[in-house]
Amino acid sequence: MARKIGISMPCCYILLVNLISVYSLVDQGMYRRNSYESATGSTGSFPFLMPLVSPKTPDLYLCTPIKVDPTTTYYIVGFNPNATMNTAHHMLLYGCGEPGTTKSTWNCGEMAQATAEEKASPCGPRSHSQILYAWARDAQKVSLPAGVGFKVGKDSPTKYLVLQVHYAHVDRFKDGSTDDSGVFLDYTEKPLQKLAGTLLLGTDGIIPAMKTEHMESACEITENKVLFPFAYRVHTHEMGKVVAGYRVRSNSEGIQEWVQLGKRDPLTPQMFYNVTNTEPILSGDQLAMRCTIKNTRHRITKIGPTNEDEMCNFYLMYYVDHGETLDMKYCFSQGPPNYYWSNPDTGLHNIPHIEASTL
């Protein structure tokens, strides 16, 4: 049976969901939350951390949830990671309508190979799901622009937050050591008009042996909303050379103009960086992303969750200055060999030449 733990704080009240039983993929340990840090003004900091887990399966994706107080609307305005790349390969913070399960921790590797253990997605199968924040490679704290926040709780479809940590290697846990990787969430109850959203662009696909491949995706913004981009983040595994994101818009002569939003070597700290162009993104624009991946292996490498696989992701943080954020949360393509920007059915043209050497 679940037990709800209420934590009183000077400016908010958050309900945490914790189950007495600990999932079998991790050793049982005392469930612990760090003490609340004092708020400065109307802003507080909440520690959302793994509950002293001890993963035993390499490339394990582990999730843990908290339930946000449903009587209050909160705005997350900053993310301060509590993790190192020596322990965690990467972390994602999901906003969910319901968690993927009622367990306190669970295997949430959606693309992971079949095991004897039960698995569930970070969010429930028919619930609201979006990625709010991502971290890897010792990235530093992210603070949102003044007056901008991710809305969660009462007046938001995000009723739960789910922390996902990818443990690529588990040697350090063989002696029973535990981990509390996670993120401190800076938040406020002060109503904010500028609501933040994150759009994730990515691909499926394969990279042939001993070949450099371009992994690409693009989606049109069809909702009647004005997006103000402010930060981006890139993610690949070890073979990534460069990741770039663009806003694509046709001019008065019907020629598509590609404006760079961000370009980065993915083997540098995978934090959110300021976009290189803050011009608004409008309905009818397309957002496009390319990863340059160099496969030095004598075998095909596929897109997947483990260190033996690759990934190609571009995260775009934006805000709207009135109304709600995009209903569209994800933009994925089939990737190579099936999808390229240059395919006739994409409608893309005037495509820029983007290579790792241009960094």
Q: Which segments are annotated as binding site for Cu(2+)?
A: 89-90, 166, 235, 237, 311
Catalytic residue among 215, 239, 289, 311: 311
Whether residue 322 lies in the annotated active site: no
Name residue 35's amino acid.
S
> CA nearest 238: which of 334, 290, 306, 171?
306
Tokens for 339? 């999808």
Q: Name all contacts of 207-211 with Cβ < 8 Å and 24+ positions apart.
A: 207/239, 207/293, 207/295, 207/300, 207/301, 207/302, 207/310, 207/336, 208/295, 208/300, 209/295, 209/297, 209/298, 209/299, 209/300, 209/301, 210/295, 210/296, 210/297, 210/298, 211/295
Whole-angstrom distance, CA of residue 12 vs CA of residue 150:
16
Angle at 313 between CA 308 and CA 318, to 5 degrees: 155
Residue 216, exposed/middle/buried by CB under 10 A (0-12, 13-18, 19+)? buried
In the numeric block, the tokens 């922390």 are attached to 163
Do 115 and 57 contact (CB within 8 A), yes or no? yes
Catalytic residue among 164, 215, 289, 317: 164
Whole-angstrom distance, CA of residue 319 vs CA of residue 321:
6
Whether residue 164 lies in the annotated active site: yes
> CA nearest 15: which of 61, 52, 48, 63?
48
Catalytic residue among 91, 130, 166, 214: 166
Whether residue 349 lies in the annotated active site: no
Cα distances from 280 to residues 134, 196, 227, 275, 289, in angstroms, run 23, 14, 5, 12, 17
Catalytic residue among 130, 215, 235, 289: 235
Beta-carbon count within 10 A of 283 CB: 12
Catalytic residue among 50, 89, 91, 130: 89
Active site residues: 89-90, 164, 166, 235, 237, 311
